[in-house]
Structure 1
Amino acid sequence: MPEGHTLHALAGSIDRAFAGTTVSASSPQGRFEDGAALLDGRVLREATAWGKHLFAEFDGDAWLHVHLGLIGKFAVHSRAGHDGMPSAHVPVQGQVRLRLLNDAWVGDLRGPNLCAVVTPDEVAAVHARLGPDPLRPDPDPDLAWRRISRSTRSIAELLMDQAVVAGVGNVYRCELLFRHRVDPFRPGREIRPATWRAMWDDLVTLMPLGVAAGQILTRQEQVDAALAQLARGERVTAPERSYNVYKRTGEPCRVCGSRVRTQVLVGRNLFWCGRCQRRR
């Protein structure tokens, strides 16, 4: 399932392509005809994300709410042909639930877990049940801390709970806990406030880098290189995918040499180093 940085990058792509323009909406697949008809011919004002939820605001208090789930994709492409001029016809490929179209761009949504036209009150209700998102302006890490500090659930489970922190998925969960040498099975109420704040501040650094690079960066040399590129005003180049512990079962820990362990937790494979992340 895409993690929060992917949804924020997608919201930016939709915004750059469609914001401020009148959009044609259709459902080539036929499963979203009524919803597409409600959006067709409206101006798309802004696309945003909160955690793993995507929202696009249209004139007339109509909002598109999308959750990609496990297999959903929302591809945004230019309509320009080989001659640089917009193509009059853009063929449909695959099962497209929703197509957004303006003079220059096409956006095709396939296989989402959720696709609905909702009201502003319904958008607010979704926001209210989600935890703070490190990628949104002015998030409240203390809200997440209150939920963590009162819980007997493990910190690894809590990080995957979107009502605690919105946008964190399995990769960020495993890598964040390793970066801070936190035992993934430690109950939330045993986490120290300073440890949580350091983890949160790390997410505020790492997740924007994920948006900029188009992939998750968590190894410190990759993080340092990306931050240096941003400081120089350069585009962040995506390195070869490489992690500290994620999907490295049985391989040696990059710090201590112990074997990376794995166990299913909350329906996902958790990866950690038993020596570096020993409970203290």
Structure 2
Amino acid sequence: MTTTPRTALTIAGSDSGGGAGIQADLRTFFACGVHGMTAITAVTVQNSLGVEGFTEIGVDIVTAQIKAVAGDMGVDAAKTGMLATVEIIQAVAKTLDEVHIGRGTGTPFVVDPVAASMHGDPLLREEALEAIRTELFPRATLVTPNLDEVRLLTGVHVTGETTQREAADALLAFGPEWVLVKGGHLHDSPRCVDLLSDGSRYVRLDGPRHATEHTHGGGDTLASAITASLAKGMAVPDAVGEGKRFIERSVAQAYPLGKGIGPVSPFWRLAGGN
């Protein structure tokens, strides 16, 4: 008899180049052995060289997608990625409450606050950043910002492990249960050190830094791997540890594609890697 896998929902934008966004989330869910479902918030025009444009999906359609899958198939864990506007952020938050996803519901919710480009440039206006702080963070089981997003959301400039802890405390003040302050953008560091905290525990996650420029979709892939592990019932620290191992292997196997920055690769798992 066929066993139905656990389910994971991604609420995010589509990447026409296939390296990030919804596409990265779905291929990571598949590689991690969970059934992926989507609520698409925007359609982007992009490739390995960058984003050329995007169009938002109507708020009613975004929320209808969430309700459709949650009401029929059920959601074991969910994550967000690109939420382009205040209106979408607010509508997603309200809908998650209605379908009982998020902190305190028993269904884990990961917020990947996509707020900065790979070059550190803001992608959202201040009012949208404020909506992420006030609408999404209090509902989040875990938030997973990179250092540029930490700076935009908290004003803390992370330069090392001491300020990484300050950033974690600043993020926790907005109400999430856990925060993961990623250290991949500390390019002067020979290692990739992330910090996981719930305010009482500070877990240092040390990993290798691979010599590759092909890191497109890395943040999406990490958040999706964590979400998949949460969907399987893992505790947050264990899920984050599993996610970090997954992204380390995915970066190590990243491949060139197009004329710009290629994507990280979950294909190592399909080859039988553990």
Q: Which has the larger radius of gyration?
A: 1
* Greater relative contact order structure (CA < 8 Å, 6+ sep): 2
TM-score (norm 1): 0.29
TM (normalized to structure 2)? 0.30
